[in-house]
Amino acid sequence: MSVRTIPFPVVDEVARHCLQEEEPETVHIEVHLPGRLDPAGLRKAFHEALLRHPRILMREAQGPWYRRRYAWELTERPDVEVVTFPAPGRDALRDARTRALTTAPPLTDSPPVRLEVVERVGRVEGSEATDAVGTTGTAAAATSSPPAAAGSRADTAATTVTSPAAAAGSRAAGAARVGAAAPRERGQATPTPAQPQGTVLFLTINHTALDGPACLRVLATAAEIYSGKDNSPTAPPTRTPEPQPDPTGTPSNWSPPARVAPGTPEPSPGNGLLVTELPLLHRPKGAPYTVNDQLMVSTALTIAHWNREHGARPRPLRITMPVDDRPRDTTMPIGNGTRLVEVPFAPDELATADIQGLLTRTATRTRALKSLPRPQLGHGAAILTAPVTPVAWRAALTRGLRRAAAPWTSTTLLSNIGRIPYPLDFGEDAGRAHAVWFSAPARMPRGLTVTTASTAGRLHLALRWSRSLLSHGDGAHLRDLFEHYLHTTDVEQS
């Protein structure tokens, strides 16, 4: 029987060239449900969902070193069991997060994704991944995380059980460190309660092959098969072409951007992760900017503040923003489907007190960037991956160019998934998703990624960083800064 193969798209090939064992290219998605799932029923539903989206059933084809292309082999069924059920326990969620940061599903097995079902989880907000997989919470906190700044949640984040009072107190302390008011009464996110009977669906994706929105589409299909309920997506926003913004005052892309200033690096390689839940932003009707622009400005101000604290010389910031124009229904192309654009900020823009003006200028830039037709990684990547030489030679060239271009790599990446378009309703017993977190790889030289999504009236933020740049305590402080600057863009509160 012949096996169908398809050449690696440009994005996949570049990612394949630059793989590093120390910092796996993984995307993680965690979907929190209030109830319990039937293991056999979920396995059957997810398997059926894979068959309905056959492009996800792929593995890297073997070939000689002198081949001109990498290729995906499309398989008729999974090579391995995709759905697993780790033993429940107080550290099960933390351990699943750690596995997502340290172990990518292999490209040689179809599909390059795994789904872990973590049951009977406790409190999840503020939990961080650690190296101490399988240890008790006390031991993990003692051995895997450096002392955190006073009042931050990093000192308790190694465990997944944190009291609401402690969390609120540490958030107030964090706000005080950046000059913010204490946590708000009106509109404040209610801390996620302990849910000993809840379930977390934990997707780990090899980003060389797939991205988060594509896998979320497959999970929505599984939810519909499992529950028999409609999980159709909401209508996507429409975009109209925008004129190019006035380049006056816009930093040049030829100038090396600012880097995130080093904090207190950790001795072990890899990524760290922190997740938290925040109130949804308010935006006046008819405002010229979007929630995405508010998140973009908050990210820029957070990094500018962090860099000032660490004595970094002011430089222009550039923030990479994925743009995804794919439909969200069952016709959605599965794979890496986003294109990357960069939003610039001049140093003096980020020192201004005119937040409304900064939001308006940012909105002008992001609208123009989203409306421009552009290859996913730019025109240079398409030339670099042209199959005119053996792929092994192109791999060496790509890695060399990546190192040479490191000073011009953007400062950070902000991936705003937006409102989750699917109900993710798994039926009467398991219920509908009340929280969904994503995180994106945070390899150097960026070393920090910010990912946001909104579900059930809450904003879910994930900060992910390279441990060679930042520590868990640094991540907690960045979260406090982000929350503070998010508050400054909230017009009903500012």
pLDDT at 196: 54
Measured distance CA(343)–CA(43) in Å, rounded:
41
Q: Residue 293's pLDDT band (boundaries 50, 70, 90)?
A: very high
- Determine the angle formed by the axes of helices 472-488 and 291-309, rounding to 10 degrees: 130
Please name the residue ranges forming H helices in 337-390.
355-371, 379-384
pLDDT at 491: 64
Name the pTM for this structure.
Answer: 0.84
- Pull the structure tokens for residue 297: 């400005």
pLDDT above 90 covers a percentage of the chain that reads: 62
Q: Which range has the worst mean pLDDT, 48-57, 92-101, 189-198? A: 189-198
pLDDT at 22: 81
pLDDT at 244: 52
Q: How confident is the model over 433-452, as a mean pLDDT?
A: 96
Measured distance CA(225)–CA(210) in Å, rounded:
22
> Scanning the structure block, which residue is given the tokens 């669906």?
201
Q: Residue 411's pLDDT band (boundaries 50, 70, 90)?
A: very high
Q: Is the pLDDT of residue 138 over 90?
A: no
- Pull the structure tokens for residue 45: 């539903």
- Report angle CA 453, 83, 42 to the nearest 5 degrees: 80
Measured in whole angstroms, how far is the alpha carbon of residue 494 from the centre of its chain? 28
pLDDT at 284: 83
pLDDT at 161: 29
pLDDT at 240: 55
Q: Is the pLDDT of residue 253 over 90?
A: no
pLDDT at 477: 97
Q: How confident is the model over 371-393, as a mean pLDDT?
A: 77
Q: Residue 241's pLDDT band (boundaries 50, 70, 90)?
A: low
Residue type present at position 138:
T
Q: Is the pLDDT of residue 412 over 90?
A: yes
